[in-house]
Amino acid sequence: MPMRHGDSPDADEPIDSHSDDGVPPQMTMHPSVGYSGMPMHMYPFAGGMIPTPQQLRSKRRQVKNACTNCQKACKKCDDARPCLRCVKYGIAEECIDSQRRERKKGVKRGPYKKRDGKDRADNSPDQESPPAPQTIAIPVATPSTSPPIGAYMTPAVGFPPGFYSQYPPHTGRPGEVPAYFPQFYIAQVPPPQPTADGETPAYPPGFYPAFVPYPQPYPPYMVPHQRPDGQMAMAAYPMYKAPSTGNSSEPGSSSKEQRATARTAGGREEEEEEEEEETGDN
């Protein structure tokens, strides 16, 4: 069935997803950290790692199961329930996993193309295989205190100006190469330094005080954010407004959100019924 394109609310900015069923989080940005405007799977590249145009387009990552709203809108979902998008539109209560239909069985397949298995062994795999993510082999032992470098970790070769500036540069000791880990999980943020007048603690330039390592007891789209004045504010995802506590308005009470809710509330049920019918005859 070609997926019906739907009537869900929209207007999205890119959002991250921590999908992946136990797969170590790849180099995706946590939404609690400022979004750079790049797709979730793209990062600035460290110096010396300027990618070829081909490498620039890294793999798109998908959630395993989009919610029904995102699915109908053909928009990016995430693994959280409610997902960011539903939260944003105030339809969190309608954020449910879509049902995957069962795959057809007994589909006959033509003869396989000859897999030149042995021939392929002759070809230098470097030429055949797609360019691997550029990973620089570092001839320096990883410090024993560091987490093991997994396949998803790419050692960096120095930071170009403006990139990764919120993370401590390597110490510069002779022979030391900064190990690079998924930045949002293991970046070490130095403690705030008291200023000269001893008052407001100041973070080093570029450091963001809201860093919270996983796991954290907040929905993935919020992190506690300590403001310079010492108060805790919710560093919310840009479009998401935390429900105002004072007013009676619930999340999703904005006119736009209400519109969205109303729109999705109607029409969708009948669509779902249709879908169920379709799945039924498999």
Partner DNA sequence: CTTCTCGGACGTTCAACCCT
Partner DNA sequence: GGGTTGAACGTCCGAGAAGT
Residue 227 makes contact with DNA by CB under 7 A: no
- Which residue's CB is nearer to DNA, number 118 or number 173? 118
Least spacing, CB of residue 31 vs DNA, in Å: 13
Q: How many of the chain's residues bind DNA (CB under 7 A)?
A: 54
Q: Are 95 and 81 in contact (CB under 8 A)?
A: yes
Residue 90 makes contact with DNA by CB under 7 A: no
Contact window for DNA (CB under 7 A) among 65-73, 121-129, 139-147, 206-214: 65-73
Beta-carbon contacts of 34 under 8 Å, excluding residues fewer than 6 positions away, are: 208
Least spacing, CB of residue 198 vs DNA, in Å: 42
**How far apart, in Å, are the Cα atoms of 238 and each of 4, 44, 254?**
29, 21, 16
- Lookup: tokens for 203: 């973070």
DSSP 3-state assignment of 196? coil
Residue 82 makes contact with DNA by CB under 7 A: no
Residues 20-59 that bind DNA (CB under 7 A): 21, 39-40, 59
Q: Residue 209: is the preceding peptide bond cis (ω within 30°)?
A: no
* Interatomic CA distance for residues 63 and 77, integer angstroms: 7
* Interatomic CA distance for residues 101 and 3, integer angstroms: 12
Among positions 37, 109, 247, 270, the unique one binding DNA when judged by CB under 7 A: 109
Residue 132 makes contact with DNA by CB under 7 A: no
* Interatomic CA distance for residues 162 and 245, integer angstroms: 38
Question: x/- site string to DNA, residues 236 to 265, per CB under 7 A?
Answer: --------------------x--xx--x--
Least spacing, CB of residue 84 vs DNA, in Å: 10
Contact window for DNA (CB under 7 A) among 46-54, 67-75, 156-164, 205-213: 67-75
Beta-carbon contacts of 44 under 8 Å, excluding residues fewer than 6 positions away, are: 36, 38, 160, 162, 163, 164
Among positions 117, 139, 161, 162, the unique one binding DNA when judged by CB under 7 A: 117
- Which residue's CB is nearer to DNA, number 11 or number 242? 11
Phi, psi (5° rounding) for residue 67? -75, 165
Q: Are 67 and 51 in contact (CB under 8 A)?
A: no
Among positions 24, 64, 244, 262, the unique one binding DNA when judged by CB under 7 A: 64
- Lookup: tokens for 180: 């690079």
- Which residue's CB is nearer to DNA, number 124 or number 171? 124
Least spacing, CB of residue 74 vs DNA, in Å: 3
* Interatomic CA distance for residues 120 and 127, integer angstroms: 10
- Report angle CA 87, 237, 246 to the nearest 5 degrees: 65
Query: Which residues of this chain interact with DNA, rule CB under 7 A?
Result: 1, 3, 5-12, 14, 17, 21, 39-40, 59-66, 70-71, 73-78, 98, 100-101, 103-115, 117-118, 256, 259-260, 263, 282
